[in-house]
Amino acid sequence: MILQGENILKQYHHKGETINALDHVSFKVNKGDFVTVTGPSGSGKSTLLLALFGLIRLTSGNIIFDGKRIDNIGDRQLTDIRKKSIGYILQSFALIPYLTTIQNVMIPLALEKIPGKEQAKRAREILDYVGLSDRMEHLPRELSAGQQQRIAIARSIIHRPQIIMADEPTGNLDPTLSLEILEFLKKINRENKITIIMVTHSSVAAGYGTMKLHLNEGKIVTSGN
């Protein structure tokens, strides 16, 4: 087991009312799982993703990562865990527009203060892996949406994380490109044994999950492999 949530509660207060964004949620994720998180808007999907590694703090409950409880540790320790162990893929791609492809991909290594030559070597290798070795010096605006998302994927795995957190990674793509990205995520999951936790509205994307969580009103209403 790589990640566990125990009785997770996240409350917000609005106009005198208490809202349970996550309502005593519990789950277990094994190393190498491809987890899909589905549910209607406002069901708590993105809140769960943000809560797992301290981007928002819980009201109560425990989160255990790699055998250690992390919901009660300091921000600096959480930041170190996120930098070393977590990769992120967003719907918006989140590429820096004035950096080239290879520069965008090297960002996680630069944050870890890895020497420049090693950064470039690993970036070239990972760009070849995602099929973009001929686009290394292009700016994001010179690339298609599918290519930009593959850059984001390359950036998410260059530091060899244990988990990828993906928030609607196909939300800005047409059906053909969505399938291309989903197949690539499946390849990363299988070949590199990287655990993926993906929030999605898409029933097609949800079908890629080896473990499925469906939320409604902050509660897990169905789960299974």
Give the pLDDT confidence score for residue 224 in this predicted structure. Answer: 73
Q: What was the pLDDT predicted at 91?
A: 87
CATH superfamily, with its number, for domain 3-224 = P-loop containing nucleotide triphosphate hydrolases (3.40.50.300)
Q: pLDDT digits over 52-76, tens only?
A: 999 999 999 999 999 999 999 999 9
User: Domain extents for the chain?
Assistant: 3-224
Judged on CB neighbours under 10 Å (0-12, 13-18, 19+), 115 is exposed
Q: What is the pLDDT of residue 218?
A: 95
Q: Return the pLDDT at 172.
A: 86
Place of tokens 């609005």: 14
CA 43 to chain centre: 18
> What string of DSSP letters covers the chain?
--EEEEEEEEEEEETTEEEEEEEEEEEEE-TT-EEEEE-STTSSHHHHHHHHTTSS--SEEEEEETTEE-TTS-HHHHHHHHHHHEEEEETT----TTS-HHHHHHHHHHHTT--HHHHHHHHHHHHHHTT-GGGTT--GGGS-HHHHHHHHHHHHHTT--SEEEEESTTTTS-HHHHHHHHHHHHHHHHHH--EEEEE-S-HHHHTT-SEEEEEETTEEEEEE-
d(CA 195, CA 179): 19
Q: What per-residue confidence (pLDDT) applies to 89?
A: 94
Question: From CA 13, how far away is CA 19, in angstroms rounded?
Answer: 6
pLDDT tens across 176-190, in order?
999 999 999 999 999
Tens-binned pLDDT, residue by residue, of the chain (225 aa): 999 999 999 999 988 899 999 999 999 999 999 999 999 999 999 999 999 999 999 999 999 999 999 999 999 999 999 999 999 998 889 999 999 999 999 999 998 888 999 999 999 999 999 999 999 999 999 999 999 999 999 999 999 999 999 999 998 899 999 999 999 999 999 999 999 999 999 999 999 999 999 999 999 998 777
